[in-house]
Structure 1
């Protein structure tokens, strides 16, 4: 690359630090000068963020010398999926800005930004604004936004791979399409370390106005191969379960030997459990923290600040810390349980040794025997540079409805111009005008089944033939409900204090910092109080979990054992407890599906004894016993086992396609088995297998007919029509589309109010307008997300004519893990491990019997 790409000021800055601009950073400058959009794919620690911002800094350096009185114009808009990432990037970006002596105004704008600062930003835009997709959607729904963005020169989308396949990505793509109209000179840059579909993302990033366009793909050179070890525990490896308790002492020893460790888990309940187990072992008084999305934002910020200042030894975290944030001194990443995808593992690996020339270091800690196979598959995928990830798909209609309403709330707009704008967004480039008009009709009347209700009439045509919000109240309520993140209804967890009476004595042996930030004090004891007052908020937990509790019950949250006192003003009041057997909150979000690529690799490992040498002896013996007692699954077939047990008959199959696809298969199989008069009575699924049981022997069933792909037609439609799943899915679509508003001026609807309204509307539409766009959106969400129908269909096509059924006298070794899921109740900690161990012993004894 020509050296002239880098101005002297920047060349000296690199030289003063003993650095050289990397080729991909220079190519990003070249692309910007050529007026091209660019997708930068570079490994973590490779200067990706600086590569995205260098064209902006170079451009702003030319005008920064004009002094503080220069006009306020927004030059660069940076968008990331996490508020914390925006704050982190802003902090890191100020280092070169200060060292270069640039007078540049850089600010963040997130949901946590105070209203006064937001208003100041509207009056006096910064040079660089770092924000989130939801904030861009709010701008699109605000008056005068066109003028505010008129001078925009550059848009940077960070962690683009995480946004594009989701509904948040649909909303962002529509916002970017609006910016293409408002700010036609603005060029775009996408940043990512893990891209499986380069062409798809390069097209997603760029406006598709006239002919399909693709951003220039810029690749950074690979860094050193990561060092990935898999923990082969000295303890007995469980057949089932996800707690990892058997390996926790070895995980603790790994934390002791590292400088700073991030312990990643896949769910928030796992985070709570892992944190408790590490605390139980923490005789050294290590500073271990907890970080997940349900903790109060103040607690999360304290943890992040403690990490940045080097006060921590380890942090147990969920995906809240696996995107982009540079924590500097992290030298070890531990993944509890299987990562479920190679791209996710690479992303988490990148948090360790966040420098291009140093290898990342990770320890995978499988929590059961199947997960050892999955961890080996993930390690091999990383070594081969194979990436998986969610596929890009057509844009969601409920998101489109939200955007179209927002655009009309911001400024009057013509239908023709809005259609051209919407179809410039890659996810909506194939949207027909007929479907666009149906969505517009929905935004204006709710659809013909609802058009007699005034509250669903949000848009009207003005005398110029332009669409606008019906009144200011509609616009205000829309802006209060912008976004696509729909989580289960949450209740605040508030640490209450007694109005009178004393509590149990607090004990402390490791300092006095808050346990939810640095676990340095054990949970306090104390008796129950009958009169309490609200105190410090600890975070949020799903409402349905709290509804199962009665006063006096205990549960784990924020790394502490808490006793439930009662509910007051939409908050759950709690006190600290020393109960050794609390419950663990269950969160509906955060469960990752096993990727298709890893599922294939697991099948390959399982069927090939030549690949077993990397597995622990216990796992090798388990697979060998399966080969002796039954048959090993093959990569491209479906093994189906049938056997009797305790007066019932069981069918177990091994698709290895993930829990969602298996649950869908279970629902559909039971319908077919009922028609075959085999009287199924239940099913259970895990990531790798499905078990169905009933009152009649299923060995005689025609397996090719039973597993025929046509179950995804009428059977699926009939089941969905009867399932409460569709109502829950419809509720989410109704909220995103704006048909149902959760937040209103002065108050927020309860979950019961929202559910009641959604169910009522669903029933009306099912009876009177079955082709309504929200019913279509809900069906697609259920099929592609909650049920994973696409993946199930691919699996059924793969195994067509390749189904191998074996009738056994008793349970097989491979069936033991999924059989242990039957009737399992969520029990915390040691009690759970004991129950699973006892059940496993019974099944193993039966399995090893003569036959």
Structure 2
């Protein structure tokens, strides 16, 4: 391989560094013109390895115009990479311009970038998709030589990944010699990602570079006073101990799993913060200005801790972070490893993390996650065909750039890995939908977006259709939200979801951005607030909870069946497991434990499936539906990541028929069709596909208006065109994303092969946590006291009396 340019070697020498093996291998792949996938631990110089070939090419062959596109899953990551890339470029004295282009970039800068693009542009899938929709896209993008996809695992199995892969196919058509580069630290199946990254899904065309392993992370599980709560899922009970940890570290990131919990944990930490340590908060509902302010404070060392959601999960190098705290179980070993990597962010230094389990099941899950990290065992991602709604949006983007030939576009789209299996008839269906809206809607001019001319090319019917596309493009469909602003003309704090705002009145207070604020007025899309005091409400958000991974579920089962490890657990967890073995049975490695018991006028049935919250919620629906048909008079159900509990007026004597896989598909189809799931899924795919606009120029569209439009179209299509493209897409989403059909089907099969039914005379120790969840998923604050009282009552019933302790094994 030719020697490195002196600017590069001198810079490494000045830093006292040596070029790492994997960085040289990435350079060799680039010189050979090969696509490349780098899998290397956090802090190993992955990002530099991705950019190094581009820097060298621009040193050896300077060019004007766009040379390298870098795509990140987070706006903050793009800004962070720009900051960390500008310094080396300046220190090397290179004449290379680097800029970012995200949804937060001012419109005048975006316009200037299209006229005079930098050599390196750092962006997101949404902004890249918008770039290819402009008539000057070919001129701007034809000079691109490399596209770098950072944190590729965060994209590949999602609709954002579909959008990005389609954009790469378009880029490849404009630039046949384009090199694709993927970077990640947490991939369990590299070959699958090579196929996703490659043109035509040709995994062999992608050179895989494996980085050297870094220092082993050190993970502790925090158990304040040796006790673990019965219920809860966010670790808030440990706020005092977490503040002590923050006080002992330079800079701590406290990760939580949802935005609502971020606000709660921030409040709890401040209540215990006697030394007034500077703490910030960061999540996706805060305004860009608020997030940037916190990021700048972190980077400059003015904070001791930050409470964050997945908004800081990936890649960002804050340098001085030396501790990560995970509040609540991480739900997956890959996610935990990704978050641990924020500490030190240097390959050769140990990353330190502390997990705070929310309850006793979460203690086992946290232990399982730590075991998986130590065993270098990551969660395997599930790939699926690309979404037809995303394809419809992409076709509209291509048409907005220039008229297209359907045959040529079909070949191009088939080169995108998620769409490699797309049939021509399906592609034509999507073209027909984009052109007319489909058979039932073709009479309405508003849905006529494309016209086929005498030359056979498809064109946009009117320029306003392209403008409308650009205003509404994207695959992230969030609930309708209101802007939260100080005063009438004050700064924006961020957004709260419309359904939460509708519950507030003038004077009501709530927690947001780590402050207590009160509503002073509502004005269209804006909610005006002022600082306040008192006992505030906490905004809650639709969705957001992450399901337990199958990998961790298996490891948790193994812990139930490993009594030799119980002695190292907290005494109350050890006793909980011991007494479960006496009162009932423990879930086996491959069986389905089902318990039935009578309590306070109701019959309960609890099934320990370990298939994640979505699958268990769907199972609860299925069980109550079947129980109703059997005359068992079900009253309700609740599901967690580990189990589902159903209660009824009549006893379930033989649960096995209720778990039969027979006619499961038919029952599920009937239920999904009658439930809000399918309407919600349809609303999302209709927005992504461009059938329903989220925004119109100068207008604010409320969530109710969007829902009304969606429901109206949904009812028309269900009645007149039940095989409509979007109904098919909605059905696919509802089955896979909302109901976890595959995991549920596996659970039903397991029930027939190896169900263990325990008929008990009282509630079992394992059943206590799920019964405490019934009806309380969104209750915070003063309801905690009632929860503690009920936990005490249930625990007293489930656990042994002093006279019974002799029954414990050993």
Aligning the two structures, in what range does the TM-score lie when normalised by the shorter sequence?
A: over 0.9
Deviation (angstroms), 1:335: 0.3
1:819 to 771, 774, 777: 771
Contact 1:605 1:611 in 2 (8 A): yes
Deviation (angstroms), 1:670: 1.0
Q: Partner residue of 1:126?
A: 118
2:537 to 562, 583, 588: 583
Q: Partner residue of 1:254?
A: 245
- Structure 1, residues 218-243: CA drift from partner, whole Å, max 9, x if none? 01001010011111220642111124
Distance 2:643 2:788 in 1: 20
Change (3 A) 1:380 1:596: same
Distance 2:743 2:497 in 1: 29
- Structure 1, residues 274-294: CA drift from partner, whole Å, max 9, x if none? 100110011101001111111
Deviation (angstroms), 1:849: 7.5
- Tell me, which stretches of 5 or more residues in structure 1 are unaligned? 65-70, 497-532
Q: Partner residue of 1:37?
A: 35
Distance 2:664 2:153 in 1: 30
1:47 to 39, 45, 48: 45
- Structure 1, residues 751-774: CA drift from partner, whole Å, max 9, x if none? 111111110111111111111110
Change (3 A) 1:390 1:549: farther
Deviation (angstroms), 1:396: 0.5
Contact 1:584 1:827 in 2 (8 A): no
Q: Residues 358-757 of structure 1: matches in 2 within 5 Å? A: 358-496=349-487, 533=488, 535-579=490-534, 581-698=535-652, 700-701=653-654, 703-710=655-662, 712-757=664-709
Normalized against structure 2, the TM-score is what?
0.97
Distance 1:482 1:85 in 2: 21
SS in structure 2 of the partner of residue 572 of structure 1? strand
Q: Partner residue of 2:298?
A: 307
Q: Is 1:170 the equivalent of 2:168?
A: no
2:733 to 781, 796, 806: 781
Q: Partner residue of 2:100?
A: 108
Deviation (angstroms), 1:5: 4.8
Contact 1:5 1:26 in 2 (8 A): no
Contact 1:42 1:222 in 2 (8 A): yes
Q: Is 1:298 the equivalent of 2:255?
A: no
Contact 1:237 1:246 in 2 (8 A): no
Could you tell which deviates more after superposition, 298-307 or 382-391?
382-391
Contact 1:40 1:190 in 2 (8 A): yes
SS in structure 2 of the partner of residue 691 of structure 1? strand
Contact 2:227 2:571 in 1 (8 A): no
Q: Is 1:89 the equivalent of 2:41?
A: no
Contact 2:524 2:700 in 1 (8 A): no
Deviation (angstroms), 1:390: 3.4
Contact 1:243 1:273 in 2 (8 A): no
- Structure 1, residues 238-282: CA drift from partner, whole Å, max 9, x if none? 111124232111111111101100000000111101100110011
Q: Residues 761-772 of structure 1: matches in 2 within 5 Å? A: 761-772=713-724
Deviation (angstroms), 1:213: 4.6
Deviation (angstroms), 1:463: 2.3
Could you tell which deviates more after superposition, 49-58 or 841-850?
841-850
- Structure 1, residues 635-660: CA drift from partner, whole Å, max 9, x if none? 11110001111111110111111111
Contact 2:194 2:203 in 1 (8 A): no
SS in structure 1 of the partner of residue 757 of structure 2? strand
Q: Is 1:340 the equivalent of 2:327?
A: no
Could you tell which deviates more after superposition, 91-100 or 152-161?
91-100
Aligned length: 802
Q: Partner residue of 2:179?
A: 187
Could you tell which deviates more after superposition, 273-282 or 537-546?
537-546
Q: Partner residue of 1:841?
A: 792
Normalized against structure 1, the TM-score is what?
0.92
Q: Residues 72-83 of structure 1: matches in 2 within 5 Å? A: 72-83=64-75
Could you tell which deviates more after superposition, 14-23 or 756-765?
14-23
Could you tell which deviates more after superposition, 117-126 or 592-601?
117-126
- Structure 1, residues 13-66: CA drift from partner, whole Å, max 9, x if none? 2223221111100000100111100000111110100100010000000234xx
Q: Partner residue of 1:523?
A: none
Distance 1:812 1:183 in 2: 64
Q: Is 1:21 the equivalent of 2:19?
A: yes
Contact 2:333 2:373 in 1 (8 A): yes
Q: Partner residue of 2:808?
A: none
Distance 2:414 2:567 in 1: 53
Distance 2:547 2:73 in 1: 20
- Structure 1, residues 144-191: CA drift from partner, whole Å, max 9, x if none? 211221111111010100011110000000000001100111111101
Q: Residues 247-286 of structure 1: matches in 2 within 5 Å? A: 247-286=238-277
- Structure 1, residues 393-425: CA drift from partner, whole Å, max 9, x if none? 110110011001111111111110111011100
Distance 2:777 2:220 in 1: 32
Distance 1:640 1:420 in 2: 52
Change (3 A) 1:243 1:191: closer
Deviation (angstroms), 1:790: 1.8
SS in structure 2 of the partner of residue 764 of structure 1? helix
Contact 1:488 1:542 in 2 (8 A): yes
Q: Partner residue of 1:514?
A: none
Distance 2:70 2:664 in 1: 42
Change (3 A) 1:606 1:832: farther
SS in structure 1 of the partner of residue 662 of structure 2? helix
SS in structure 2 of the partner of residue 592 of structure 1? coil
Contact 2:251 2:305 in 1 (8 A): yes
2:134 to 142, 150, 168: 142
- Structure 1, residues 790-822: CA drift from partner, whole Å, max 9, x if none? 222233334431111111111111000000112
Q: Partner residue of 2:807?
A: none
Contact 1:638 1:799 in 2 (8 A): yes
Change (3 A) 1:534 1:832: farther
Deviation (angstroms), 1:596: 0.6
Distance 1:619 1:825 in 2: 23
Distance 2:568 2:165 in 1: 44
Deviation (angstroms), 1:359: 0.9
Deviation (angstroms), 1:113: 1.4
Distance 1:666 1:77 in 2: 47
